Structure 1
Amino acid sequence: MKQVIRKRYTTEELLEILKKAHEKAKVLNIILSIRVFNEFCKENYGSMLIGSVINRFASVPGGKDGWGMALKQLGIEHGKTYNKDIVLEHIYQAYLDNDRKQPTEEQISSTGISLKTVYRYFGKTSSAIKAMYDAKEIKQDYVLPANVAAIRKLDKAGESLRHLHIDLDESPVNEQGVVLLFGKVHFAIGFPTIIKVQQDFPDCKAYSIIGGEYHRANIEFKFKSASYFRSRRSIKEWEERVNYLVCWEHNSKSFNEKIRTVQVIALKDELKKKEVLRKLKEHYSEKLEIFKQFA
Structure 2
Amino acid sequence: MIAVIGSSNMDIVFNVDHFTLPGETQKAISLDFYFGGKGANQTIAVAKLSKKPVFFCSCLGDDEYGKEISKNFENFNIEGYTIEKKELTGRAYIEVDKKGENRIILFTGANDKIDKEKIDMFLNKYQNKIDVCLLQNEIPIESVEYAISRLHEKGIKIVYDPAPVGNTNVGILEKVDFLTPNETEFRFLCEKISITFDESKMDKAVIKFKEITKVKNLIVKLGDKGCVYLDENGKTEKVSGIKVKAIDTTAAGDIFNGAFSVAYEETNDLIKSLNFANKAAAISVTRKGAQSSIPGREEVFNFSF
TM-score of the aligned structures, taking structure 2 as reference length: 0.26
- Compare the two structures and name the one with the higher helix fraction: 1
Query: Larger C-alpha radius of gyration, 1 or 2?
Result: 1
TM-score of the aligned structures, taking structure 1 as reference length: 0.27
Structure having greater relative contact order (Cα 8 Å, sep ≥ 6): 2
- Compare the two structures and name the one with the higher strand fraction: 2
